[in-house]
């Protein structure tokens, strides 16, 4: 018969003081990276492989966008293993979606020109709000704002 050891609350407090990110938050980040890699990748990679969308050859910027999203989905697999090291991918995901909502969706909505073609993208981009809630902002502040930058020479 094995008796479980009591949780070491001192160790938990020490980790918090060092600035470690809670384990549950790491798992949620991993789930988001995996969702990007698998769910978004399942939509993007067939288009990349076929070099067409809806039977049409890509226009220049469509090709660029698909390839950038393909890179994002492929690199997201690294986020499953290294959720904190790959946070810049989450920053990119958050940034492009917020920019698209502000620069494309909002003007369409304000002009009462939102259509069925744009609405699925509005819904998908709006889901990024969840990432804003689970982002370890204390860690981001310490590592990306407060920490000294890399040397210049």
What's the mean pLDDT in 126-145? 95
State the Cα–Cα distance between residues 135 and 79, nearest whole angstrom: 13
Looking at the structure of the chain, the number of domains it has is: 1
Asked, for residue 11, whether it belongs to a domain, the answer is no
State the Cα–Cα distance between residues 71 and 73, nearest whole angstrom: 5
State the Cα–Cα distance between residues 38 and 74, nearest whole angstrom: 9
Asked, for residue 66, whether it belongs to a domain, the answer is yes
* Inter-residue contact 122 to 101 (CB < 8 Å): yes
Range of the domain at 83: 22-137
Is pLDDT larger for residue 115 or for residue 57? 115
Q: What is this structure's pTM?
A: 0.80
E strand or H helix at 121, and its extent?
helix 119-126
Asked, for residue 146, whether it belongs to a domain, the answer is no
Distance of CA 2 to the CA centre of its chain: 41
pLDDT digits (tens, 9 = 90+) for 8-44: 445 555 555 556 899 999 999 999 999 999 999 999 9
Q: How far is CA 79 from CA 59, 61, 115, 128, in A?
A: 30, 27, 34, 16
pLDDT digits (tens, 9 = 90+) for 52-84: 777 778 888 989 999 999 999 999 999 999 999
Tell me what the pLDDT averaged over the chain comes to. Answer: 89
State the Cα–Cα distance between residues 74 and 49, nearest whole angstrom: 14
Question: pLDDT tier at 51 (50, 70, 90 boundaries)?
Answer: confident
* CA-based nearest residue to 72, from 52, 101, 46, 44: 44
Asked, for residue 51, whether it belongs to a domain, the answer is yes
Question: pLDDT tier at 3 (50, 70, 90 boundaries)?
Answer: low
């Amino acid at each position: 018969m094995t008796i479980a050891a009591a949780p070491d609350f001192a160790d938990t407090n020490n980790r918090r003081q060092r600035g470690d990110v809670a384990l549950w938050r790491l798992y949620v980040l991993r789930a988001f990276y995996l969702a990007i890699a698998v769910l978004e990748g399942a939509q993007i990679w067939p288009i990349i492989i076929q070099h067409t969308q809806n039977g049409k050859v890509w226009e220049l910027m469509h090709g660029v966008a698909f390839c950038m999203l393909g890179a994002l989905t492929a690199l997201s697999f690294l986020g499953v293993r290294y959720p904190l090291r790959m946070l810049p991918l989450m920053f990119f995901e958050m940034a492009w979606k917020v920019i698209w909502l502000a620069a494309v969706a909002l003007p369409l909505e304000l002009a009462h020109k939102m259509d069925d073609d744009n609405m699925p993208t509005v819904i998908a981009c709006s889901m990024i709000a969840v990432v804003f809630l689970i982002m370890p902002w204390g860690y981001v502040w310490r590592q990306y704002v407060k920490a000294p930058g890399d040397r210049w020479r």
